[in-house]
Amino acid sequence: MIKDRLASVLGRRDEEPNIQLAQEIVQNNDKSAIEELLHLIQGKQKDLQNDSIKVLYEIGETSPQLISAYWNDFMEALSCKNNRLQWGAMTALKTISLLEPDHIVNNLIKLENAAEQGSVITRDNYVAILTNLLSLSRYQELAFNAVIKQLLQCPTNQLAMYAELVSPKITSAYSKKFIETLSGRLDEIEKDSKRKRVEKVIKKKS
């Protein structure tokens, strides 16, 4: 059973067993193992949920096509009260966002709500999803508007990282609004090093 290979069942506090399991599942193209992991994230045992979502998004990092069909399971997990499962589900959705962009876009409000109410990691992965969508011409405008919303609302601590992440995907048509948004928040940034990073992004796009 896949469950017996998970870190918590093995009495381990590190993630190594989960990472190794993900690698094996990818190598063996083991779809039944993925089904078992999805069943476990829907269960009520927090440790098993945490381990299972870790294995699933590790699979997604290297072979997103193996988990892309289960996008709806990850969407449902966003509503879970288990914070680790919630941000893990957003991470899994990030890994498959270029394979399932239509489903991602159709559920963008749900993703945004999860990002607003969840942890910093949940928001980080939401912004990464939007960055992926920026590279698809049919969703570029929608993704850009969602990015601007995040750049206006996110804690200043995250602003430099988000600016650097999305900047390479911002086309000339959207540069002016992008620069204005970042410039408008410069005075809020208390840390000198982070302000300089944002200024560098502005200069590069100007």
Residue 103 pLDDT: 98
The stretch 179-194 carries a mean pLDDT of 97
Q: How does pLDDT run across 169-182, given as a tens digit for each residue?
A: 999 999 999 999 99
If you count DSSP H runs as helices and E runs as strands, how many of each does the chain have, helices first?
12, 0
The DSSP symbol for 142 reads: H
Q: State the chain's mean pLDDT as an integer.
A: 97
- This prediction's pTM: 0.96
pLDDT of 18 reads: 98
Beta carbons of 172 and 140 less than 8 angstroms apart: no
10-35 average pLDDT score: 97
Residue pLDDT, tens place only, 110-167? 999 999 999 999 999 999 999 999 999 999 999 999 999 999 999 999 999 999 999 9
> In terms of DSSP H, where are the helices of 29-66?
31-41, 46-62
Q: Residue 109: name the closest of 157, 137, 142 by CA.
A: 142
Q: How far is CA 97 from CA 5, 13, 74, 94, in A?
A: 28, 30, 12, 5
User: Cβ distance 170 to 205 under 8 Å?
Assistant: yes
Q: Please give the torsion angle defined by the CA atoms of residues 45, 46, 47 and 53, in that order, rounded to the nearest 10 degrees.
A: 110
Reading the block at residue 172, the tokens are 């000339």
Percentage of residues in the chain with pLDDT exceeding 90? Answer: 100
Residue 22's pLDDT is what?
Answer: 98
107: Cβ–Cβ under 8 A, 6 or more apart, which residues? 75
pLDDT bin (cut points 50, 70, 90) of residue 1 is confident
